[in-house]
Structure 1
Amino acid sequence: MSAAPRSPLEGHPPTSRLRLAEPAPTVSGSGAPKVVAEGVPTAVRPDQQTGDGRYPIAWLTITAPRGATPTATSICACGRNLFAAGHHKALALIEGHTRHRDLCPLRTHQEGAAA
């Protein structure tokens, strides 16, 4: 009264003859596998999208949905992480973020090294 064992994929018959994949023959019929498509350079070229060495240090995020309380977040890689909610507090945080750009130890160090 036991049922016959099912294959792992229902509805598909079990495969009894397994074959390894073989490379397709080339146009010339030699059977050698084609490694690279024609016209494709094989040498690795340097990345054309490399940056100029600059990267973001500070982020200012402002959210002001219509009819809701505006918020602002000021985050800097030096450890500054401030949040303000409300119109006046958000404006004050935006001004503080602008002032921090001149006082941040990460920015002043980079500008002094370039000079």
Structure 2
Amino acid sequence: MAVGPDPQQGDGRFFVAWLHIVAPKGAVPTATSTCACGRDRSAVGHRKVLALVEDHTAHRDACPLRNSSAGRNAA
């Protein structure tokens, strides 16, 4: 029996940041923003969760794991 390639082997991409939002109907929403660079923030309530979503999105441009100087120089 021949052994084929490992089907679990990825394409080199990996998750760096996670945004987890819980908003049950009729309850107070909560959110957590986590990044592999060490950033870990949370929010409770509609306005604070919306602000955290914006902050999480803005972090993409500032994260040192996504925007290393080596990556900018190679482009």
- Stretches (4+) displaced over 3 A: none
- Secondary structure class of the residue paired with 1:107: coil
1:1-115 equivalence runs, <5 A:
42-109=1-68, 111-112=71-72, 115=75
Q: CA deviation at 1:45?
A: 1.9
With normalisation by structure 1, the TM-score equals 0.58
Question: Equivalent pairs: percent with the same residue?
Answer: 62
With normalisation by structure 2, the TM-score equals 0.87
- Secondary structure class of the residue paired with 1:97: helix
**Normalized per residue, which structure has more helix?**
2
Q: Which runs of 5+ in 1 are unaligned?
A: 1-41
- Secondary structure class of the residue paired with 2:31: strand
- Secondary structure class of the residue paired with 1:74: strand
> CA separation in 2, counterparts of 1:50 and 1:113?
29
The number of aligned residues is: 74
**Normalized per residue, which structure has more strand?**
2
- The root-mean-square deviation of aligned C-alpha atoms, in Å, is 1.8
Q: Which runs of 5+ in 2 are unaligned?
A: none
Indicate the structure whose relative CO is greater, using CA pairs within 8 Å and at least 6 residues apart.
2
